[in-house]
């Protein structure tokens, strides 16, 4: 069965994490996952094209921000909140605390 690769947070640079968070669609996914704990890709796509969403999830996984597990036909995503908070203290609080 296919599984996704998830980097050890210690190998992720702050620039890499910032880049992943600097896109409105990806930031929206991270915001939703911060509220919803776990969500399928379909529940997070907001009607956007699947190919573009695949790209965004790939970027979020590569930056160590999101974990994706395969559950039957669904891909379930979680925010790696504790690990990210440990690697980049205060970053997600600062980024997610901003309105607009």
The contacts of residue 90 (CB under 8 Å, 6+ apart) are: none
Residue 35 contacts a copy of itself per CB under 8 A: no
Q: How far is the CB of 71 from a copy of itself (least distance, A)?
A: 30
Query: Maximum Cα–Cα distance for the chain, whole Å?
Result: 40
Among 6, 7, 19, 74, indicate the residue that binds a copy of itself (CB under 8 A).
Answer: 19
Q: How far is the CB of 32 from a copy of itself (least distance, A)?
A: 15
Among 7, 18, 37, 48, indicate the residue that binds a copy of itself (CB under 8 A).
Answer: 18
Residue 13 contacts a copy of itself per CB under 8 A: yes
Q: Which residues sit at the interface with a copy of itself, rule CB under 8 A?
A: 13-16, 18-19, 21-24, 27, 87-91, 93-95, 97-98, 100
């Amino acid at each position: 069965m296919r599984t996704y690769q998830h980097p050890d947070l210690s190998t992720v640079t702050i620039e890499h994490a910032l880049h992943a968070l600097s896109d409105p669609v990806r930031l929206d996914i991270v915001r939703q996952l911060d509220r919803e704990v776990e969500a399928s890709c379909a529940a997070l796509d907001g009607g956007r094209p699947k190919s573009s969403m695949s790209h965004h999830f790939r970027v979020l996984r590569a930056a160590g921000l999101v974990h994706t597990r395969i559950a039957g036909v669904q891909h379930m995503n979680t925010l790696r909140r504790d690990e990210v908070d440990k690697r980049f203290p205060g970053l997600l609080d600062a980024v997610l605390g901003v309105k607009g």
